[in-house]
Structures are given as C-alpha cells and as structure tokens.
Homo-oligomer: A and B are copies of this chain.
Amino acid sequence: MTTARTPTRNRGNRRAEILDAAARLFAARGFHGVSIEDIGAAVGVSGPALYRHFAGKEALLAEMLLDVSSRLRESAAAVVTSATAPAASSAETLDALLDAQITFALEQPALITVHDRELGNVPEPHRRRIRRLQRLYVEEWVTVLAELHPGCPAARLRAATHAVFGLLNSTPHSAGELPARDMRPLLRAMARAAVDAAVNAR
C-alpha cells in the first residue's frame, strides 16, 4: 500500500488510472451509483482531487466513452481497409472483425459494459459524437455482412449485428465460468454460427 515509488511519481498515468478505476465502478454500480469520493478512494486520493484531471463527473464519463467508441471504430476501419487491398474474402474480414471485438470484450469487460449502458448520461456536446462513432462501427459490420449476402435487407443485418454484440458482450456475466483461453474459441464459434444463420435468409 505504499503508493510512492519515485519522488516524481507516475506522471501522466493518473488520468488513465482514474479512468480505469471509474470504469470498473461504473460497470459494477452504474454511473449514478458511484460518487466522486468513491472513484478517488479507488486510486488512493480522496474526493475533489479528481478535478485536477477532469472537468467533472460527466466529462470523465464522456472521455471514457469517446475513447472506447473511437478505439472500436478505428480497429474495425483498420481491419476493413487492410483487407481490401488483396482479394481477401468477406468471410475472412468478418473473422477479423469478430476477433477484434472478442479481444476487446475479454480484456476490457468493464469498458464494454459501460459503453452500452451509460451513453444516456453523457451531456449533449459529446453524446452526438459518441453515437456517431458507434453508428460507424455498426455500419462497418453491416457493410461486410452485406458483401457476404447481397440479398439481405440492411435492417436485418443491423439487427443481427446488435445481436452478435450482445452475445460477445455477455462476457462480464459469465466471468469466472470459463478461462479466457476457452472462452475465446467458444465465443468465436457461436458468433460465427449466429452470423451465418442470420445472413442466410430463411
């Protein structure tokens, strides 16, 4: 519990440390169920110290969600654009998208949880930007799925995408059931099968 390490402590890490602790707390008890004092205590400082790093509680949440949604979106964009150069099959691109999302869900369950629960608590300037990024991320998936099965209406593909996210983001609920080593292939297999079933019309 001795927090100090060097006289000049963890310099830029405080912000990240706070964001990390806040994510876990928000995921566990919800945005309004966590106080500024709680977050401070989780990183070893107390209360109003957070205002040295963030403009306020909502700003903290906004930055957190903005970071998550842009990271997701960027990872998807990277996968898709890098795949267009060679004649990569849409199926392979989809697998890459799946793997990226699975990695994120397994490594950052708290962030994933907060990301799809707490958007409503972000004030309006940033709210729109986050929604936009989320929409772009979904559309990335929809585009790939559309190539996989051109006849399928976009609404159905969107619904299927959300369903797959629901499946993959269930990770926090089954925490501890299965080690990540087994969880990853299980989720991959289930998600792939679900996507195929959705895309192959009935």
Contact = CB atoms under 8 A, between A and B. Distances in A.
A131 interface: no
A156 B178 contact: yes
Nearest to A161: B174
A165 B183 CA distance: 16
B196 A183 contact: no
- Oligomeric state, in number of copies? 2
A163 interface: yes
Contacts of A31: 30, 32-33
A178 B159 contact: yes
Nearest to A190: B194
Contacts of A118: 30
Contacts of A170: 162-163, 165-167
A101 interface: no
B177 A189 contact: no
**A interface, over-half SS:** helix
A59 interface: no
A181 interface: no
Interface in A162-202: 162-170, 173-174, 177-178, 182-183, 185-187, 189-198, 202
A194 B121 CA distance: 33
A128 interface: no
A29 interface: yes
Contacts of A202: 185, 189
Given A163-B170, A170-B162, A198 B189 contact: yes
Interface of A: 28-33, 116-118, 120-121, 155-156, 158-160, 162-170, 173-174, 177-178, 182-183, 185-187, 189-198, 202
